[in-house]
Amino acid sequence: MIASELISDIVVPLKTSDSVEVAISMMEEFKVSHIAVVNNRSYLALVSESDLTGSIDPATPVGNIKLALPHMMINGHQHIYDVIRMMSEHELTLLPVVDEDENYLGAISLESLTRNMAKMAAINQPGVIIVLEMSQNDYSLSEIAQIIESNDAKILSMYVTAKIDSTNLEVILKINKQDITQIMSTFNRYNYIIKASYGEDEDPGDLKDRFDSLMNYLNV
């Protein structure tokens, strides 16, 4: 999935002639802290809420303000992981998308990014999450896949996260099966450490921890 496929059609850009008051009003309306500034089709900058605070006259045009994020943008053909990394590193609520000539194509909101990540992670598909822990030397994607598929199941999504201050890995699997008894038995037989498993009726807080682990991994 690439950046151009993540564009939200909800948030519209500012013009350089729009006032600070208009910019703040639009941020409140779209529930974001950043908005792109565009001149015709050309992308100019990303205005943040902090750019508009202080003693600035509300009637001042946005084009007259020195902006802290003039070159914050992403090319339309870049991967969703690049989008996640940039939005996370710079704590953005909105990321402008441009073409090769820096013409404005649209913007990616956090809501749009989250919705598309849910599709990638097969969150909406029925199944069970299994969390394994192992040393880096013991990690074998082919063996893990073989164990799953030998029990008539498929991996819907899979993420590998490195544990802090450790050589161990945490492998998060989404399996397209509700009854994973045989799969768990096979993992035990192969001496895998099964750290946790989550069904569709699990506490959302537990699933959020798994999502946070993924975010930490992608931000390395």
Beta strand pairing status for 34-39 and 14-15?
parallel
Averaged pLDDT, 188-198: 91
Do residues 178 and 167 make contact, with C-beta atoms less than 8 angstroms apart?
A: no
Domain extent listing, the chain: 3-117, 121-218
For residue 64, the number of C-alpha atoms closer than 13 Å in the C-beta half-sphere is 10
Q: How confident is the model at residue 166 (pLDDT cuts 50, 70, 90)?
A: confident
Q: What is the pLDDT of residues 6-60, one digit of tens each?
A: 998 888 999 999 999 999 999 999 999 999 999 989 999 999 998 998 778 999 9
Q: What is the pLDDT of residues 48-67, one digit of tens each?
A: 998 998 778 999 999 898 88
Q: How confident is the model at residue 97 (pLDDT cuts 50, 70, 90)?
A: very high
What pTM did the predictor assign? 0.67
CATH 3.40.630.30 applies to domain 121-218: no
Q: Where does the chain have alpha helices with state H? A: 20-30, 80-89, 110-120, 141-150, 181-189, 204-218
Hey, what amino acid is at 209? D
Please give the CATH superfamily to which domain 3-117 belongs: CBS-domain (3.10.580.10)
Residue 202 confidence (pLDDT): 46
Q: Give the single-character DSSP code of 153.
A: -
Hey, what amino acid is at 155? I
Burial group, residue 22, by CB count within 10 angstroms (0-12, 13-18, 19+): middle
Query: What gap in Å lies between CA 108 and CA 112, rounded to an integer?
Result: 6
Lowest pLDDT segment from 53-67, 82-96, 130-144, 195-209: 195-209
Express as a percent the part of the chain with pLDDT over 70: 88
Calculated CA dihedral for residues 51, 57, 59, 61, nearest 10 degrees: -40
